Amino acid sequence: MQQLFSGKLRFKDANGKDYPDWEEKRLNEFCTFFSGGTPTSSNKEYYSGNIPFIGSGNIYDAEVFSFISKEALDSSSAKLVGKGDLLYALYGANSGESAISNLEGAINQAILCIRTEDSIEYLNYILVSNKEKIVSKYLQGGQGNLSAQIIKKLKYKFPCYEEQQKIASYLSRIDTKIEVVNNQITQTHQFKKGLLQQLFV
């Protein structure tokens, strides 16, 4: 990832030619942003609907256990996001983490939704690879919150859209391999545990 995002490792186009030089730009030059809000907790009916309510700890999840109603959405600053939107955690234990949403639902103020016409997968990998730098710079001693203004001003080098897609696809294939291996390790541990139980009964 360090080599890819520094431009040291480059892809070529279908004809074997180099892509154009990378362009350095701030996120607010090509992305749009919004965060949500939380309906008042004193109205229990607001939390008896069927709209998934996504908190900063749920940005990776395909399901949540908190839901709000249409009335709650309309009466608060909660905002709707869709599958494929990029969600960035501003507050909480996972501040600085980002993920591509697996849900259509509403977000609270702890989440920043980022949309772009560029490769959302590539942008997510950029933010993931720079998480530690962002957190160490803006969250002194782990205290405080990130803000939309901080994220909007982040500046990185970006290749053309086609090269972005190639880089994101390459990294995604590696992530898939890692997941397969992790599942194999988990299954092997479970097999060992079961074997030990049978051996020492």
* pLDDT at residue number 144: 66
User: Percent of the chain beyond pLDDT 70?
Assistant: 97
Q: What is the mean pLDDT of residues 48-68?
A: 93
Mean of the pLDDT values across residues 83-111? Answer: 93
Tell me how far apart the alpha carbons of residues 60 and 183 are, in angstroms, rounded to a whole number.
18
Asked if residue 167 lies in contact with residue 11, where contact means CB atoms within 8 angstroms, the answer is yes
Q: Give the pLDDT of residue 138.
A: 87
Q: Decide if pLDDT at 109 tops 90.
A: yes
> So what's the pLDDT on residue 163?
93
Kindly state the tokens that stand for 123. Answer: 């942008």
Mean pLDDT of 43-63: 92
Predicted pLDDT at 143? 60
If you average pLDDT over residues 144-149, what whole number do you get?
86
Contacts of 133 (CB under 8 A, 6+ apart): none
Q: What percent of the chain has pLDDT over 90?
A: 76
In this structure, the chain runs to a length of 201
pLDDT(125) > 80: yes
Whole-model pTM: value is: 0.84
